[in-house]
Amino acid sequence: MAVEEAKSHCVVLIPSPFTGHITPMLQLAYVLHAKGFSIVINHSELNPPDTSNHPEFTFFPLKDGLSNRDPSFSNLFNIIPEMNTNCRGPFRQYLVEMMEEKTELYGKISCIVYDHLMYFVNEVADHLKLPSILLRPSSCAYMEAVCAFFQLRAENHFPLPESQLLDPVPKVPVLRFKDLPFALTSEIPEHVLKLLEKVADLGSSVAIIWNTMGDLENRALSWLQQYYQVPIFTIGPLHKMASSSLTSLAEEDANCISWLDTQAPNSVLYVSLGSIVVMDENELIETAWGLFNSNRPFLWVVRSSNDLPDGYLEAVGDRGRIVKWAPQKEVLAHPAIGGFWSHCGWNSTLESILEGVPMICRPCFGDQNVNARYLTHVWKVGLELGTDDLTRGVVERAIRKLMVEEEGEELRLRIHDMKQKLQMSFRDGGSSRNSLKSLTEFMSSL
């Protein structure tokens, strides 16, 4: 489609308000804007984007009354259903007004693209006879695991005895039962199951956009194509496809980059657990001393630094930097970075792979378990740190293995090789570029 033709078309985007979700949605907005679509973003009042960073888009907050809520992990299963209930009315009203009054301003609505946590959108779009497309900000492997979980549950496999946790999952043998996204040895609460069902469900959406690469997730993608029976467009990694990197919700501490400039190539370990996971007090202390005892330079993101041991910062001195929020993509691209200790959120996983940085994998919940298993046992570019209680000795040994020993060097070479191959995907003629072309044609035909 020519850019002029697309300009008469508008795409309405509905991100969910969590950093790991709103970031790929904003990146998608840039990708579609560059193809000529006008962009309207309807967002929750919780964690709103900084609209001044994106003057090319129109933003409209949905009055959901959630602006004061704490979006940490323990609250997620309450906040998400509430958000879906509260946003439905305001969103419908906004769309009706837009269709009646604002077509000249933004163009005809081509379609609505929504994050898979904002499932209320599908119902509203149906009601107004507008096509909707689902954005999946997680890996294909994760959704395949969710589907496998529901199938096994229907066959009464759960609750599972502890002794079977290390057994391979039938139909997805690369995963062990313990890698599935949920605790399987006890009953899962009904409200959690309901939410997962809603997230896995496609409703009447006409297609799926996936922030992944066909070249990376070919097998799981083929399975999902059979399962969902609608076109799937794999146009990731969105952070490389988009023209803007101004998508961070928190203020980035850029000083760490000048400190990295003073460090030797491949010498620094970067430690970050994304935007939701928090370490408990004991884990934080053991990690702190493990990092210290490893004798390697490190850059550590601690979103709340109150609980660091007394005198720790003085003891570390110039060998480490602790920040509340780092410019992560820039950090991972820095030549001084030799390893990434991560919770294996999907954005962090893609960002690390695409910069060729080997990982220490310490998943915490949900999709992170699946991503960690792929990193350590399928792609073989990460070390498994497991999910048991951490001790400073375990931390120190893992860091040495990754940063100093031969095993770490092998992972580094392998992920470098992977990066070289995968970066073809988002270059001209690559699989993600081709998929994006098909997506824009598809959207314009709706």
Tell me how far apart the alpha carbons of residues 66 and 120 are, in angstroms, rounded to a whole number.
Answer: 16
* Residue 406 CB, nearest approach to ligand UDX (Å): 28
**Measured at CB, which residue is nearest to ligand UDX?**
20
The 298-317 contact track toward ligand UDX, x by CB under 6 A, reads: ---x----------------
The stretch near ligand UDX (CB under 6 A) out of 112-120, 191-199, 210-218, 325-333 is 325-333
Tell me how far apart the alpha carbons of residues 134 and 122 are, in angstroms, rounded to a whole number.
Answer: 9
Distance from CA of residue 437 to its chain's centroid? Answer: 23
Q: Pick the closer one to ligand UDX by CB: 276 or 385.
A: 276
User: Would you state the structure tokens that stand for residue 284, as one six-digit string?
Assistant: 């934080």
Binding-residue total with ligand UDX (CB under 6 A): 26
Q: Pick the closer one to ligand UDX by CB: 11 or 372.
A: 372
Q: Pick the closer one to ligand UDX by CB: 274 or 339.
A: 274
Residue in 11, 12, 14, 19 binding ligand UDX, rule: CB under 6 A: 19
Residue in 20, 61, 89, 231 binding ligand UDX, rule: CB under 6 A: 20
Tell me how far apart the alpha carbons of residues 206 and 187 are, in angstroms, rounded to a whole number.
Answer: 34
Tell me how far apart the alpha carbons of residues 192 and 199 are, in angstroms, rounded to a whole number.
Answer: 11
Report the residue count for the chain: 446
Do residues 305 and 313 lie in contact, with contact meaning Cβ atoms separated by under 8 Å? no
Could you tell me whether strands 38-44 and 58-62 are parallel, antiparallel, or unpaired per DSSP bridges? parallel
Residue in 348, 352, 425, 444 binding ligand UDX, rule: CB under 6 A: 348
* Residue 279 CB, nearest approach to ligand UDX (Å): 13
Do residues 400 and 394 lie in contact, with contact meaning Cβ atoms separated by under 8 Å? no
Per CB under 6 A, which of residues 161..180 are in contact with ligand UDX?
A: none
Q: Pick the closer one to ligand UDX by CB: 346 or 374.
A: 346
> Residue 367 — φ and ψ, nearest 5°?
-60, -20
Tell me how far apart the alpha carbons of residues 164 and 177 are, in angstroms, rounded to a whole number.
Answer: 7
Q: Is 325 in the site for ligand UDX (CB under 6 A)?
A: yes
Give the residue among 405, 352, 402 at the shortest CA–CA distance from 375: 352
* Residue 343 CB, nearest approach to ligand UDX (Å): 6
The stretch near ligand UDX (CB under 6 A) out of 111-119, 274-282, 286-294, 305-313 is 274-282
The 120-159 contact track toward ligand UDX, x by CB under 6 A, reads: -----------------xx---------------------
* Residue 180 CB, nearest approach to ligand UDX (Å): 14
Sort 140 into a burial class: Cβ within 10 Å, 0-12 / 13-18 / 19+: buried
Alpha helices in 102-176, H assignment, sequence order: 103-106, 120-127, 140-154
User: Would you state the structure tokens that stand for residue 147, as one six-digit string?
Assistant: 């589907």
DSSP letters, 382-419, are: EEE--SSPP-HHHHHHHHHHHHTSHHHHHHHHHHHHHH
The stretch near ligand UDX (CB under 6 A) out of 61-69, 165-173, 267-275, 403-411 is 267-275
Per CB under 6 A, which of residues 23..42 are in contact with ligand UDX?
A: 23
Coil, helix or strand for 120?
helix
Q: Pick the closer one to ligand UDX by CB: 296 or 329.
A: 329
Q: Pick the closer one to ligand UDX by CB: 45 or 367.
A: 367
Q: Pick the closer one to ligand UDX by CB: 205 or 275.
A: 275
Q: Is 274 in the site for ligand UDX (CB under 6 A)?
A: yes
Tell me how far apart the alpha carbons of residues 199 and 116 are, in angstroms, rounded to a whole number.
Answer: 6
Q: Is 84 in the site for ligand UDX (CB under 6 A)?
A: no
Per CB under 6 A, which of residues 222..251 are in contact with ligand UDX?
A: 248
Q: Is 351 in the site for ligand UDX (CB under 6 A)?
A: yes
Q: Is 272 in the site for ligand UDX (CB under 6 A)?
A: yes
Do residues 117 and 135 lie in contact, with contact meaning Cβ atoms separated by under 8 Å? no
Identify the residue whose tokens are 């995907």.
425
Q: Pick the closer one to ligand UDX by CB: 9 or 321.
A: 321
Convert 65-102 into a string of H (helix), E (strand) and C (coil).
CCCCCCCCHHHHHHHHHHHHHHHHHHHHHHHHHHHHHC
> Which residues in this chain contact ligand UDX in the complex, by CB under 6 A?
18-21, 23, 137-138, 248, 272, 274-277, 301, 325-326, 328-329, 345-348, 351, 366-368
